[in-house]
């Protein structure tokens, strides 16, 4: 178990696993990397950084993994709904957590070092969301969200916004560009996610090559 840092009490961790994995063809939270289901892999990674980690998913969906999910309040409405659910959960718990590290369940190359840096940057920031930006654009499913941002995000959601990056425009945002994250990502894979079965096969091939 990692040593407890007092600042960890100010950060909650969440893994989003409520999606339908329609492009993937099966539940990608359950596919294994290094003999570990991705959901458990991501949860363990966040536990090294934050005091508490919850999974946004139907409560009993991952009971076989020993996980009780927190149901998405707007199930089937996309990841923005999951982010708002996470922030409201922290808010309603009367937690002292000011920040929430929220990640998708399908990013096999995320590292403890990068996530720890992201959390430190958030805790020093006056922004409402601290998010990296890669060559593909903003990476909102690997970002830190201030708990109090829930209201603005929900207003956008209630107005019909479903794209996370559109809702983020209402928030004070701090963007971490390549100058911030490149030293954690020499191979350019940090934010690589598995949208399809082919992506999963490629991720396994890369990891096997790294071990060779």
- Residue 56 located in a structural domain: yes
- Residue 202 located in a structural domain: yes
Per-residue confidence (pLDDT) for residue 74, from 0 to 100:
95
Look at residue 145 and give its three-state secondary structure: strand
Per-residue confidence (pLDDT) for residue 6, from 0 to 100:
47
Q: Please write the tens of the pLDDT for every residue from 75-131.
A: 999 999 999 999 999 999 977 899 999 999 999 999 999 999 999 999 999 999 999
pLDDT score of 2 more than 50? no
- Residue 53 located in a structural domain: yes
CB–CB of 154/84 below 8 Å?
yes
Per-residue confidence (pLDDT) for residue 108, from 0 to 100:
93
Q: Please write the tens of the pLDDT for every residue from 119-172.
A: 999 999 999 999 999 989 999 999 999 999 999 999 999 999 999 999 999 999
- Residue 166 located in a structural domain: yes
Q: What is the DSSP letter of 70?
A: B
Per-residue confidence (pLDDT) for residue 8, from 0 to 100:
54
Per-residue confidence (pLDDT) for residue 21, from 0 to 100:
63
Q: How far apart are CA 62 and CA 108, in angstroms?
A: 19
State which residues form the domain around 42: 7-211
Per-residue confidence (pLDDT) for residue 211, from 0 to 100:
74
Question: Number of folded domains in the chain?
Answer: 1
Task: Give the Å distances, CA to CA, from 198 to 23, 103, 159.
Answer: 10, 21, 36
Per-residue confidence (pLDDT) for residue 69, from 0 to 100:
96
- Residue 2 located in a structural domain: no
> CB under 8 Å to 172, separation ≥6 — which residues?
126, 127, 128, 129
Name the maximum alpha-carbon separation found in the chain. 51
CB–CB of 37/65 below 8 Å?
yes
CATH number, residue 206: 3.90.550.10
Q: How far apart are CA 3 and CA 42, in angstroms?
A: 19
pLDDT score of 181 more than 80? yes
Task: Tell the burial category of 117 from Cβ atoms under 10 Å away from its Cβ (0-12, 13-18, 19+).
Answer: middle
Q: How far apart are CA 153 and CA 169, in angstroms?
A: 9
- Residue 1 located in a structural domain: no
- Decide which of 147 and 210 is more confident: 147
pLDDT score of 1 more than 60? no
Token look-up 């939270």 returns 29
Q: Please write the tens of the pLDDT for every residue from 38-66.
A: 999 999 999 999 989 999 999 999 999 99
In whole numbers, what is the pLDDT of the chain averaged over residues?
Answer: 90
């Amino acid at each position: 178990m990692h040593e407890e840092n007092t600042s960890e009490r100010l950060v909650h961790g969440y893994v989003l696993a409520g999606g339908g994995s329609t492009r993937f063809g099966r539940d990608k939270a359950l596919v294994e990397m290094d003999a570990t289901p991705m959901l458990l892999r991501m949860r363990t990674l966040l536990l090294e950084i934050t005091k508490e980690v919850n999974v946004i998913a139907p409560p009993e969906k991952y009971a076989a993994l020993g996980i009780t999910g927190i149901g998405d309040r707007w199930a089937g409405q996309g990841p923005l709904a999951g982010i708002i659910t996470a922030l409201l959960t922290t808010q309603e718990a009367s937690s002292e957590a000011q920040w929430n590290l929220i990640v998708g369940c399908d990013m096999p190359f995320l590292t403890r070092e990068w996530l720890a840096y992201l959390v430190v940057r958030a805790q020093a920031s006056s922004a409402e969301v601290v998010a990296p930006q890669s060559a593909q654009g903003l990476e909102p499913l690997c970002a830190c969200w201030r708990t109090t941002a829930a209201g603005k995000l929900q207003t956008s959601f209630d107005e019909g916004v479903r794209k996370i990056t559109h809702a983020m425009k209402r928030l004070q945002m701090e963007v971490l560009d390549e100058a911030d994250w490149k030293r954690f990502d020499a191979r350019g894979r940090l934010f690589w996610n598995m949208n399809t079965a082919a992506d999963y096969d490629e991720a396994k091939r890369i990891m096997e090559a790294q071990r060779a």
